Amino acid sequence: MAVQLDEIDVRLLRELEADADRPNVELARIVGLSPAATLNRVRRLKESGVIRKIAARLDSAAAGFTLQVYVMVTLARHDEAAENRFNREVAAIDNIIAADGVAGETDALLMIAARDVAELQVVLSRLSTRAGAQRLITLLRLGEIKPSSPLPLRATSVQSRRAS
Amino acid sequence: MAVQLDEIDVRLLRELEADADRPNVELARIVGLSPAATLNRVRRLKESGVIRKIAARLDSAAAGFTLQVYVMVTLARHDEAAENRFNREVAAIDNIIAADGVAGETDALLMIAARDVAELQVVLSRLSTRAGAQRLITLLRLGEIKPSSPLPLRATSVQSRRAS
DNA sequence: GATGAAATAGCATTTGC
DNA sequence: GCAAATGCTATTTCATC
């Protein structure tokens, strides 16, 4: 399941997680390979699915979203129909910028961005009514303690590889 | 504070949030500008801070991190020294891949990636001991309900701009 | 103040090794 | 994985609206 990575792959991934806005030749210099070899490795990492995508990370506040909140959701019911309904509502609400199903204190954790309290209020009430949330716990994001950081990757220890 | 964005900026940002792994000429075609003008706009969006960075998003599971958990932390004390200590510990623990300070049920929300339960256990106990956490609530991430989605940006309504 | 078109320099990508 | 070669792109320049 997990993709095999050697030391160079790990270095490439770390660099790309930190900053993917650089020419391939610079990456090549960093990892000590030729541009062609570097390009091949990056392509393989994309195809293997380890790299999901290359994307811009925006500053929500600078873009006008002064309110960022995490909302923990407990569903009223847990049958498949209720979950599908919830998932559809979550997908349809633009201010929910990401959502994960979780196990523990609650059933789901949502990330929400809003321009003002009124906008947030609309989202929360829609979750309570149409989405079937029984209980909402809201955490107002005050600021960043640790910025989004690279995964602590390690090279896969050397071992013979069976044919796939 | 919030940067002024017109319709073309919004379209550029939406495209770059979804996929920044494309040549500038393609972006130019999408938004209907020349490559030069497109490049200028993207550069300005980076300099203004709306675009924080362009980065690779990895698939944690494919990279070997089968356990992804959110941890809500309540600090034992809230003086500045305790907070600094906590922040330093969080920064030093590689498995914590992001952390936000919050207001509400708890004081902080951490995102953690671990290869196995033993690795997770080390992080949690270090938080309880050295980092000064009084209470930890762990949410095991089961799966994605909604993938990381673009911010619901709107163009700033036309208006005269005062000198900065 | 920003755009478009043309020109240059640099890079991505392929091919053969 | 490397080196060389090709084609395309990024980036600048300058005229223009």
> B13-45, pLDDT tens digit by residue?
999 999 999 999 999 999 999 999 999 999 999
Quick: pLDDT tens for B82-98. 999 999 999 999 999 99
| A 53-112: CB under 8 A from B | 53-66, 70, 72, 86-87, 90-91, 94-106, 108-110
Would you say the C-beta of A35 is within 7 Å of strand C? yes
Quick: pLDDT tens for A98-137. 999 999 999 999 999 999 999 999 999 999 999 999 999 9
Quick check: B162 pLDDT over 50?
A: no
Quick check: B161 pLDDT over 50?
A: no
Query: Would the CB atoms of B20 and A149 count as touching at under 8 Å?
Result: no
CB within 8 Å of A79: residues ≥ 6 apart: none
Chain B residues whose CB is inside 8 A of the A55 CB are 16-20, 54-55, 57, 148
| % pLDDT > 90, chain A | 93
Angular region, A64: left φ>0, alpha ψ -120 to 50, beta rest:
left
CA B43 to CA B37: how far, in whole Å? Answer: 10
Confidence of residue B6 (pLDDT cuts 50, 70, 90): very high
Chain B residues whose CB is inside 8 A of the A16 CB are 55-56
Question: How far does the CA of A157 sit from the C1' of D4, in Å?
Answer: 35
Confidence of residue B156 (pLDDT cuts 50, 70, 90): confident
Query: Would the CB atoms of A62 and B56 count as touching at under 8 Å?
Result: no
Residue of A nearest to B45 (CA): A58
- Give the minimum alpha-carbon distance from B131 to chain A in angstroms, rounded to a whole number: 13
Quick check: A3 pLDDT over 60?
A: yes
CA A138 to CA A65: how far, in whole Å? Answer: 17
Question: How far does the CA of A71 sit from the C1' of C13, in Å?
Answer: 46
Quick check: A72 pLDDT over 70?
A: yes
